[in-house]
Amino acid sequence: MQDAELIAALNADLCREYEIAAHYLYHVYSATGQESAACLEALRARVAAEMAHADQLARLIVALGGRPTLRSPRPAGGDALADLLARGLALEEALIAGYEERCRQAAEDPALRAVLARMLDEERRHAAEIEALLPSRGDLASAAPPAELPPLTAVA
């Protein structure tokens, strides 16, 4: 894979990291009382983790000779806790799919692949944590599917 293609894909992942961090922050700041303190604290922790991923991605992009993208879609709003968590889970699943692809793309660069594989493992853990916060898996029916996220080429 050409560095330019990989940089564009990493920039798309960076935008998704920003989006999910903003999504969780929106939920933390707009909580209406239906959320438990533990749930809000878990979301705050996710924000910190997603921003750490954004920092790692930006550093990788610069190391590859690119410029990090600082754009992100506005977070989708909503009032129901289950809907917000389900959307968060859909975003986490989109990040997982992206990092799986990036690991394949970086197969010939062991150092890059190791960083991406670590981030992939963390995103899988994040998804499991968010899923555990959902009242029931059935609430995912109202979440926007990952396919509604911007395609990689559209956000880079």
List the CATH number of the domain containing 37: 1.20.1260.10
153 domain-assigned: no
Burial 67-91 (b: 16+ CB within 10 A, else e): ebbeebeebbebeebbbbbbbbbbb
Comparison of pLDDT for 156 and 54, the residue scoring more: 54
| Predicted local confidence at residue 143, as pLDDT | 40
- Residue 40's Cβ-count burial label (10 Å; 0-12, 13-18, 19+) is middle
Average pLDDT over residues 125-135: 88
Which residue range(s) make up the domain with 105? 3-148
Cα–chain center distance at 147:
14
Mean pLDDT rounded to a whole number for the chain: 81
Residue 156 located in a structural domain: no
**Tens digits of residue pLDDT in 102-115:** 999 999 999 999 99
Q: Report yes or no on 155 lying in a domain.
A: no
CA distance 53 to 48: 9
CA-closest candidate to residue 57, choices 2, 19, 108: 19
- The string of pLDDT tens digits covering residues 41-50 is 888 888 999 9
Tens-place pLDDT, residues 53-84: 999 999 999 999 999 988 766 666 566 777 88
Q: Cα separation of 146 and 87, whole Å?
A: 9
Number of structural domains in the chain:
1
Please say if the pLDDT value at position 156 is more than 50: no
